[in-house]
């Protein structure tokens, strides 16, 4: 009987550890922002993201030409092929406004607002 109780206790602790690990991973997940490029315009032109959390920016290029998603203030750049998608990962950011642009078509500009 003592052996069964010990086995149940070990199983409970293993289950609890798995739940805690899963919860911690969910809390640590990046926030996500989706941006589309069409006719050399970002949509939305002003994206929003939470402050103090790592961020994944998913860029979908609907144009017939490649584009380069770039931001000096975010310290990222990513070439996204025509009709393709790309993701850039950004560190946790303080509240503020962060500009981004298409380096191949510099008139294509947008802003990430972090709050």
For 41-62, the pLDDT digits (tens) are 999 999 999 999 999 999 999 9
DSSP assignment of 27-95: HHSPEEEEEEEETTEEESSEEEE-TTS-EEEEEEE-SSS-EEEEETTTTEEEEE-TT-EEEEEE----S
Q: How many domains does the chain have?
A: 1
15 is a domain residue: no
CATH of the domain at 93: 2.60.40.420
44 is a domain residue: yes
Position 27 pLDDT exceeds 80: no
Q: pLDDT, tens digit, for every residue of 84-110? A: 999 999 999 999 999 999 999 999 999
d(CA 100, CA 90) in angstroms, rounded, equals 13
4 is a domain residue: no
Token duo for residue 103: 């380096």
pTM: 0.74
3 is a domain residue: no
d(CA 42, CA 106) in angstroms, rounded, equals 12
Residue 103 is inside which H or E element, if any? none
**CA 93, 84, 74 angle in degrees (round to 5)?**
15
Q: What is the mean pLDDT of the chain?
A: 86
50 is a domain residue: yes
Instruction: List the one residue out of 50, 74, 51 whose CA is nearest residue 59.
Output: 74
Quickly state the pLDDT bin for 12 (edges 50, 70, 90).
very low
16 is a domain residue: no
Pairwise pLDDT comparison (16 vs 53), residue with the higher score: 53
75 is a domain residue: yes
Structural domain range at position 66: 30-114
25 is a domain residue: no
């Amino acid at each position: 009987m003592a052996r069964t109780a010990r086995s149940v206790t070990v199983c409970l602790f293993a289950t609890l550890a798995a739940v805690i690990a899963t919860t911690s991973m969910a809390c640590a997940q990046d926030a996500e922002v989706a941006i589309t490029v069409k006719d050399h315009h970002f949509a939305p032109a002003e994206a929003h993201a939470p402050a103090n959390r790592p961020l994944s920016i998913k860029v979908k290029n609907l144009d017939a030409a490649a584009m380069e998603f770039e931001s000096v203030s975010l310290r990222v750049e990513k070439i996204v092929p025509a009709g393709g998608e790309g993701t850039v990962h950004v560190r946790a950011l303080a509240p503020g406004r962060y500009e981004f642009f298409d380096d191949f078509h510099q008139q294509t500009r947008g802003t990430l607002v972090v709050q």
